[in-house]
Structure 1
């Protein structure tokens, strides 16, 4: 199933790839600038490999989320719970996806259209709903 925003979100990811831009350092620089408390969580990532792997998983999740949603919603919920064990607040997940979107917008410049902006906003709202709906560990059902 495709969502109304699927084509535009996918096109933005494809365009970044076509341009040969690795957005990893840009995304994490933005994250650490707005949430410096997150940087210490990456103390083992001396060469950026962990950040790159995490961003690749985010892109995979986005592509599934805008498509058939076979696993993305479950993956997001599982990662929220896993990362809470690392003392990463759950709202950082919604923030992180938004950080990816803002970074791509900056990197794509004129290739980021009003349609792309609307599509990312709609998708981010849906992801935020998944984040909010994820029960807290130990919370009463």
Structure 2
């Protein structure tokens, strides 16, 4: 229905992000520490980012896309696909690209601390599943052999 968010638990995602922002001035170090721990091969891609400005800008765009994805989806679904393809040009495999959203959730959960709720957790599980489904569908071959 027009005017309604595409994602039923949008309020929980928004509330978790607001709580994290109140508790942590900058989630960038938390997100990227997780990514580099899980995918150390990605760290050399950021050799020029000595002040975390590039990482911070990427995370800011991710937050904006997540809020649009749980909201009206005016651009986020297309942006995710576009960024996935762009990152392949930077030698970031789609599988690694797809894991980034989970690192964001983990950092938000850490920042929320004891105030992380079951509802936040359920909403993020569903959000990550929808993003994974979207990425998987976008990654499927456009033409199937007949």
For normalisation by structure 1, the TM-score amounts to: 0.93
Q: Does 1:58 align with 2:62?
A: yes
Aligned to 1:76: 80
- Equivalent residue for 1:85, pick from 85, 89, 94: 89
1:1-141 residue pairs with structure 2 within 5 A?
Answer: 1-2=4-5, 3-135=7-139, 140-141=142-143
1:39 deviates by 0.4
For normalisation by structure 2, the TM-score amounts to: 0.90
**Distance in 2 separating the partners of 1:16 and 1:135:** 31
Large movers: runs of 4+ above 6 Å? none
Equivalent residue pairs, number: 139
Structure 1: unaligned runs, 5 residues or longer: none
1:106 deviates by 1.4
Structure 2: unaligned runs, 5 residues or longer: none
Question: Superposition RMSD on alpha carbons, in Å?
Answer: 1.3
1:130 deviates by 1.3
1:93 deviates by 2.3
Report if aligned partners of 2:20, 2:109 keep a CA contact under 8 Å in 1: no
* Cα 1:140/1:124, change in 2 over 3 Å: closer
Larger radius of gyration: 2
Report if aligned partners of 1:65, 1:73 keep a CA contact under 8 Å in 2: yes
